[in-house]
Amino acid sequence: MKIANENIKETKELDEYSKEELVDECKMLRNQVQELNEKMNWMMGQIRLDKQKQFGSSSEKTDHEQMSLFFNEAEGAADLKAKEPEFEEITFKRKKHKGKREEDLAGLPTEVIEYKLPEEKQECPECSEKLHVMSKEVRRELVIIPAQLKVVEHVKYIYSCRNCEKNNISVPILKAQAPEPVIKGSVASASLVAGIMNNKYVNALPLNRQEQELDRYGISISKQNMANWMIYCSKNWLEPLYEAMKKVLQSQDVLFADETTVQVLKEPGRKAETNSYMWLYRTGAEAPPVVLYEYQTTRSSSHPKRFLNGFKGFLHCDGYQGYHNLSSDITIVGCLAHARRKFDECLKSLSKVEQVGSKAWEGLEFCNLLFEVESKLSESEAEERYQKRLELSKPILDAFLTWLKKMELIIAPKSALGKAVFYTIEQWKYIKNYLLDGRLEISNNRSERSIRPFVIGRGNWMFCNTPKGANASAVIYSILETAKENNLKPINYLTYIFEKMPNINFKDNPEFLNDLLPWSNKLPEDCKQQKKDSQSSAQ
């Protein structure tokens, strides 16, 4: 009886609503359900993307053939009367090589250990005649020689005249010539400082671990001492080279730039957890390889504006606005790889079923087609590349822009696809600038590759202690990364610098520095990596 009364009461309450009110309430509930579904889909996409970043491959490569099956809207996005892109197929013959192992071992010193029968056993067991060497069986091993520490005493003899000592008031004293040390009053040698720098800045081995390793050899050198050596040698010997390389960099027409965070604990007036920045500038493919880092406390656009003062030409960079108003003499070239990455992340946020034929897939396909053209033109000369891009890449870019503007009208700006589309449209005026010159590149990946060693090192040593240390690190990374780009052995090159620079008057004669720059043909052969046959390397 009670339940029946409640049903009658509810019926009366429903009867109080008009038909229009019920329709409006249904519409409101339907909108709420749609909004909740969109939020749930967004959250599921973020979960899939996070799992992909944590457990999946970081590669942005996609199945081009499978994507092309569903890539049909681009054909209607623009009226392209141009002929289908044609690529010349190039074939060549390779000389057959014995193998990469033989080439790797060829440049190393070889110690031969021979195993022979004793003289008394070199007799035939059948007829007792003398045996002869019929053949040899050779087995080759690669042996590593662990680091060895030794003390080198530099004894400088001082001479005087006994006759003058007996008969004259003044006695001439002559000293034998000896090379100046890398650090006066220190036990540090050029090779020791070079080894410590190489371990930290090339192999990402923090100073405290190097201190422990030296202790296992019975040598006590604190990480504080090693840090002092890094700062001293950076300031006195590497900074002059850094400034010389900076002049070369600023004289180029095409540069690349990027930046990343670094934590410096003891910056005056700043909390230890505050982010500072390591800026990177480098040359392009058709210039002497120069890679320069610069430490700054902020991400302000004033830093690249000051560093690039006097530079005129093209600057590749990402979408950070701090680069976009540097100078009227600088043309910004955007990075299509950043746009592609956003479409790739959008695609990975979808389920496998949703990915096929999706709008994210189509946007990613445009990017892939443009990168495919660049791959085909990688060996072309700059002028040919410029002409081919106008013929092959420009129609794809025009179709891509038409597609983007169409998507802009129908998607939510805050969705994953919306962020990819709106970012690409916002950066379009910079992205398309790579068509202006055949020396330019479609992405800023060149600078990202150069800044990666610092990011890897930062993952090991995590922070710098002082601004002096951060500045020293910037200079040292610059010298070593430029050395690597010029195919030098970093530790050998540093050793050579630290042996030479204390003994030349480069302050009054700065031209002496030209012979020490990483691309100088006057560097000793020991500093250079062994040249390998390019064709065998391609294998």
Among 340, 331, 408, which Cα is nearest to 370's? 340
Q: What Cα–Cα distance (Å) separates residue 110 from each residue in 93, 103, 113, 352, 382?
A: 32, 13, 10, 55, 44
| Calpha distance 231→468 (Å, rounded) | 7
pLDDT for residue 447: 95
Kindly report, residue by residue over 94-112, the tens digit of the pLDDT. 554 556 667 667 777 888 9
Exposed / middle / buried, residue 193 (Cβ in 10 Å: 0-12, 13-18, 19+): buried
Q: Which residues of the chain have pLDDT under 50?
A: 1-2, 4, 8, 11-12, 64-82, 84-85, 87, 90, 92, 96, 534-539
Characterize the bridge pairing of strands 291-296 and 275-283.
antiparallel
pTM: 0.79
For residue 76, count other CB atoms closer than 10 A to its CB. Answer: 11
Task: Say if residues 337 and 315 touch (Cβ distance below 8 Å).
Answer: no
DSSP 185-245: TSS--HHHHHHHHIIIIIS---HHHHHHHHHHTT----HHHHHHHHHHHIIIIIHHHHHHH
Among 187, 206, 185, which Cα is nearest to 196's? 206
3-state DSSP assignment of residue 146: coil
| Calpha distance 486→479 (Å, rounded) | 11
pLDDT for residue 66: 45
Task: Say if residues 245 and 273 touch (Cβ distance below 8 Å).
Answer: no
DSSP state of 120: G
H/E run at residue 173: strand 173-175
Give percent above pLDDT 70 in the chain.
82
Exposed / middle / buried, residue 443 (Cβ in 10 Å: 0-12, 13-18, 19+): buried
Kindly report, residue by residue over 122-158, the tens digit of the pLDDT. 888 888 888 888 899 988 888 888 888 899 999 999 9
Q: How many residues does the chain have?
A: 539
**AA identity, residue 400:** F
- Phi, then psi, of 97 in degrees rounded to 5: -110, 160
pLDDT for residue 120: 87
| Calpha distance 283→289 (Å, rounded) | 6
Q: What Cα–Cα distance (Å) separates residue 479 from each residue in 289, 336, 472?
A: 11, 29, 11
Joined together, the tokens standing for residue 316 give: 């590749």
Joined together, the tokens standing for residue 117 give: 């029968």
Q: What is the per-residue burial (b if ≥16 Cβ within 10 Å, else e) of 87-126?
A: eeeeeeeeeeeeeeeeeeeeeeeeeeeeeeeeeeeeeeee
| Calpha distance 208→226 (Å, rounded) | 9
Extract the runs of DSSP E, i.e. beta strands, from 307-452: 313-316, 330-333
pLDDT for residue 267: 85
Among 261, 238, 205, 226, which Cα is nearest to 455's? 261
**AA identity, residue 485:** E
pLDDT for residue 87: 47
Extract the runs of DSSP E, i.e. beta strands, from 254-310: 254-263, 275-283, 291-296
pLDDT for residue 25: 77
Kindly report, residue by residue over 477-509, the tens digit of the pLDDT. 999 999 999 999 999 999 999 999 999 999 888
